[in-house]
Structure 1
């Protein structure tokens, strides 16, 4: 197997990288192990996490960094101990997580929720492997990492459609599964963006009774209805919306993370025993709320983060079967700096994918 290729990508060197100042350079990936896969990248989705990381929004970033964790391409090197029957030439993808402890006595890893492992996690970029080497993401030509978190892409999903599902898609889909969204349940999705549009489509294929899209204005109403929403609430336009729709939803998935969001009013939409799930990851604190908003209805507030390998595989197969297609904008990899600036400006409708034109001829 040829291994003479170089690892090159868009490196963020400091906080200004988020302003479209990444630079294209060589970098050294983790040392290859027999459990690893090298992927020739054809497509990489842009996630909000990329922007947060480039500007050190959540925490100080381990510069230099290559972001991107919605990666699809071709396996070009496969170790002798890989999992899942992966082989050279397979079309594969990797999401936001590259490693967990994977120990038999780990409560999370042994129960198929590796994304909540409390012993060790290596995130696909801006993280460290146990040997101390850094993880680098998908804004580049190649990616290397452990096979446990590499997935075959179903034939029915084009690569540009599949890539954003590996993080954005499963981040919205996982809490729907956990809270048993399906027939008999009514679901609200707050924020009609990259995560929210997956939330609507995921709830639709799970067969819930009703989907309510919730946004500040009605600008995205037509799109939300096309995605599968049955109703729409514009919180800045619909007077008395919280009273009109009170106690109407079983599950609310919040993809927004503004400290100004009307959390108290959102909670009033929950029915008895309902669940409010936060998946938007904030740089600031979430707003406070009155405890009686949940005490009187035995409601819960929880969070959810990415998805497990098992959930990702199930989601990919289900979305392929049901014909779910990401609403995607395709941008050449060479224009990554422009793409992240446009993403931050809210121009994506609804996910942006970088296309590596040198590697994407048939993918």
Structure 2
């Protein structure tokens, strides 16, 4: 790919909401003063990709999904100081922000009051649509490109750019660590990383899952305990147990039941978004001075911190690598919860349309 000109590259795109993804060609901008040209090696498939491409829940079409991107720098603009050709790098959920609001200045770009520019389905500050990682190359401002340490394989690193930071941010914000009892609700793409990271932080980790068959996996990933929430007796048994509960599922939860599992001053933090409004009794909060919270990925600095932490502790995502032609099948399998625990696309298998 020529770094000096706008260039066509192969990709997989959803032409309209609900349509199968198909091979196509997209345009990538020339490498600007502070841009990095990245050859994509692997891109994870996130539930958000499916929600947007299949159900049209946010974003513009045609849509090239993918915001869990790992690869290698092939060219940089003349003003780039953070990266150089040959570096192992990643791109997550955003590729720009206003850089001027209080949140951006505090390294909380994900909460940019003027709206972060998302990696795909968004409109960049140049007025052009953004296309994600189901492609062979991407051009991104150096300030939104992360360094992937040598301690993580690129295929296992790709999902960390969304799933990893999505769980790392609340676990560290609410001080998961030695002496803390942490529960992870759900053992999917987010949940399995939540278990690994919480365990590495030194917390006592419990997995709460509707699927009894995931007990062995939970323990292999680092959980100290496993409970199947299909057994209603679990809620009485574990009442008042946890300092922190991280809910990684998007299904509707009985919030009162899960809040009852918290100790005094405990927090239930939600990462998934259920399809409809949620309800609870305020007594579930008042009774133990409990907190119901939410969290959204992390800023660029914290995402780099997460990658460094994972490399130091030998953590990567459990992945199944697929070819580009298997993307639509993978969407079906993710929707059926038939993946342990993240599909990752090998970008070398994305041929020209």
For normalisation by structure 2, the TM-score amounts to: 0.94
What's the counterpart of residue 42 of structure 2? 43
Q: Which deviates further from its counterpart, 142-151 or 334-343? A: 334-343
**Is this contact kept in 1: 2:17–2:61, CA < 8 A?**
no
**Within 1, Cα distance between the matches of 2:92 and 2:199?**
23
What's the counterpart of residue 215 of structure 2? 221
Q: Offset at 1:81?
A: 2.3
Task: Evaluate the alpha carbon distance shift between residue 219 and residue 57 of structure 1 in structure 2; reply closer, same or farther with a 3 A threshold.
Answer: farther
What's the counterpart of residue 126 of structure 1? 121
Cα-to-partner distance string for 1:234-289 (whole Å, 9 max, x where unaligned): 111x2321111001001110011213x2221101001111111010133x124311
**Within 2, Cα distance between the matches of 1:147 and 1:301?**
36
**Within 2, Cα distance between the matches of 1:247 and 1:83?**
50
Cα-to-partner distance string for 1:113-164 (whole Å, 9 max, x where unaligned): 1111112310100001122111100001111121111012111110011000
What's the counterpart of residue 76 of structure 1? 74
What's the counterpart of residue 306 of structure 2? 315
**Within 1, Cα distance between the matches of 2:136 and 2:329?**
18
Which of 80, 91, 97 is matched with 2:94 structurally? 97
SS in 2 for 1:9: strand
Q: Which runs of 5+ in 1 are unaligned?
A: none
**Within 2, Cα distance between the matches of 1:101 and 1:114?**
8
**Is this contact kept in 1: 2:80–2:142, CA < 8 A?**
yes
| Superposed counterparts of 1:151-300, under 5 Å | 151-208=146-203, 210-236=204-230, 238-259=231-252, 261-282=253-274, 284-300=275-291
What's the counterpart of residue 26 of structure 1? 25
What's the counterpart of residue 109 of structure 2? 114
Q: Offset at 1:26?
A: 1.1
**Is this contact kept in 2: 1:258–1:286, CA < 8 A?**
no
CA RMSD of aligned residues (A): 1.6
Q: Which runs of 5+ in 2 are unaligned?
A: none
Cα-to-partner distance string for 1:142-194 (whole Å, 9 max, x where unaligned): 11121111012111110011000011111011100111111121101001100
Q: Offset at 1:31?
A: 5.4
For normalisation by structure 1, the TM-score amounts to: 0.92
**Within 2, Cα distance between the matches of 1:164 and 1:286?**
28
Q: Offset at 1:318?
A: 1.2
**Is this contact kept in 2: 1:13–1:63, CA < 8 A?**
yes
Task: Evaluate the alpha carbon distance shift between residue 57 and residue 134 of structure 1 in structure 2; reply closer, same or farther with a 3 A threshold.
Answer: closer
SS in 2 for 1:277: strand
SS in 2 for 1:252: strand
Q: Offset at 1:327?
A: 1.0
Tell me how many residue pairs correspond in the alignment: 348
**Within 2, Cα distance between the matches of 1:178 and 1:149?**
22
What's the counterpart of residue 332 of structure 1? 323
Q: Offset at 1:57?
A: 4.5
**Is this contact kept in 2: 1:272–1:299, CA < 8 A?**
yes
